[in-house]
Amino acid sequence: GQNIDQPTEMTATEGAIVQINCTYQTSGFNGLFWYQQHAGEAPTFLSYNVLDGLEEKGRFSSFLSRSKGYSYLLLKELQMKDSASYLCAVMDSNYQLIWGAGTKLIIKP
Amino acid sequence: GAVVSQHPSWVICKSGTSVKIECRSLDFQATTMFWYRQFPKQSLMLMATSNEGSKATYEQGVEKDKFLINHASLTLSTLTVTSAHPEDSSFYICSARIQGEYSPLHFGNGTRLTVT
């Protein structure tokens, strides 16, 4: 079966750095997406990785290792507004998105 | 670019009635749109893939006669929840890609449906 694993919840301090991990087992691989979802709102696109390595976009970076079936989202200089759920999604061989359950990130002052 | 507009944002209806949710791609054409449902504290669940000019493809366990999907144009898809019941209360979200399978999904703002 297809499976995406990410921690249910994480807590971090304002101004700090946090890494949210995602491991996956899917039927084929056509890229991995990270989305941010604030409570009661729809997800918004953060990043896309299809090749191994690190993609940096401002305070957010995303890393992929296809051989390990592993990705992480790195958030730097955390702000209170970063409190949200972060969803990992993998596109399988049929170009269907397989979604993780999301990681709820709580930022404390 | 890549704005997806969804309407209404929230709706309350009585059990047994039908509710229509609209999803529009405002600045691009979408031959394919996706309808998701999300229950509180749960992951997004794909309900169906809406294809312009043809029948929608429903995921296993989703009743196609209950969740009617119409994709009449390249910029509009509608989801109608027929004979709604309280267990249909959920957050419904549509999404679309600009072009190509590798493009990210862009989501509408979602519709919170409450059936009383």
Q: What is the pLDDT of residues A25-53, one digit of tens each?
A: 999 998 999 999 999 899 999 999 999 99
Q: For residue A81, what are its two tokens?
A: 């507004």
Distance of alpha carbon A49 from alpha carbon A76, whole angstroms: 19
Residues present in chain A in total: 109
d(CA A47, nearest CA chain B) in Å = 8
Burial B41-54 (b: 16+ CB within 10 A, else e): eebbebbbbbebee
Amino acid at position B14, single letter: K
* Confidence at residue B100, expressed as pLDDT on a 0 to 100 scale: 64
Residue B2 is predicted with a pLDDT of: 76
Query: In this prediction, what percent of chain B has a pLDDT beyond 90?
Result: 69
Give me B53's structure tokens: 């000019």
pLDDT at B89: 96
* pLDDT tens for each residue of A64-98: 999 999 999 999 999 999 999 999 999 888 878 89
Q: State the CB neighbour count (10 A cutoff) for residue A98.
A: 21
Phi, psi of B52 (to 5 degrees): -60, 125
Report CB contact under 8 Å: A41, B110.
yes
Which residue type sits at A12?
Answer: A
Strands (E), A26-83: 32-37, 44-49, 53-57, 60-65, 70-75
Give the residue from B16, B31, B34 showing the smallest Cα distance to B86. Answer: B16
How far is B98 from B77, CA to CA, in rounded Å?
15
Q: The dihedral of CA B102, B103, B104, B106: what is its sign?
A: negative
Whether residues B108 and A42 touch (CB distance < 8 A) is answered with yes
Confidence of residue B1 (pLDDT cuts 50, 70, 90): low
Query: Does residue A12 surpass a pLDDT of 70?
Result: yes
Helix (H) or strand (E) holding B98: none
| Residue B101, pLDDT score | 60
Q: With an 8 Å Cβ cutoff, are A100 and B105 in contact? A: no
- What residues pair up with A20 in beta bridges, in sequence order? A73
Q: Which residues of A touch B45 (CB under 8 A)?
A: 99
Number of H helices, E strands in chain A: 0, 11
Question: What percent of chain B clears pLDDT 70, i.e. is strictly above it?
Answer: 96
Q: What is the mean pLDDT of chain B?
A: 91
- Residue B32 pLDDT > 90: no
Q: How many residues are present in chain B? A: 116
User: Is residue B42 very low, low, confident or very high in pLDDT (cuts 50, 70, 90)?
Assistant: confident
